[in-house]
Amino acid sequence: MKGLVSDFRKFIMRGNVLDLAVAVIIGIAFNAVVNSLVNDVIMQFIAAIVGKPNFDQLTFTIGDGIIYYGKFLTALINFLIIAATIFVIVRAFEELQKRRKGTEEELEEAPEDIVLLTQIRDLLAANGTASATPPAQPPIS
């Protein structure tokens, strides 16, 4: 039983489990924001155009069965709006990451003398004049 508790403690304290927990919590909060955007803003624009904030009441009957195709349409529109919203957010995040990475790379460029020495070494190696082993150091007296 002690080993089981110890293994469970190691499992919970792993970094990726904690990262996953944070991601789930952030995802839940993000879900609330996206749902509010869809239901309270975008679907209200659709209601202004079409006259209804959703299509849940659209149905037709076949015999004794009622087909609620309006609920499907509402769910489909919500999905497309949420997918488009997430796409725009991810695209903007990736663009910011590219810009940030570009400025970091500019700061990390090698000094000019190092670049020149590297080019000289590469040219010597290409011409076959550079030896494969470094020259021996003379003994220190």
Which residue numbers in the chain have pLDDT < 70?
Answer: 15, 103-110, 129-141
pLDDT at 30: 86
d(CA 69, CA 57): 9
Owning domain of residue 70: 54-123
pLDDT at 72: 92
pLDDT at 135: 55
> Does residue 19 sit in the same domain as residue 43?
yes
> Does residue 115 sit in the same domain as residue 69?
yes
> Does residue 44 sit in the same domain as residue 65?
no
> Does residue 4 sit in the same domain as residue 33?
yes
Is residue 20 classed exposed, middle or buried when 0-12, 13-18 and 19+ CB atoms within 10 A define those classes? exposed
Does the model's pTM come out above 0.75?
Answer: no
On whether residue 19 sits in a domain, the answer given is yes
d(CA 51, CA 44): 9
Question: How many domains does the chain fold into?
Answer: 2
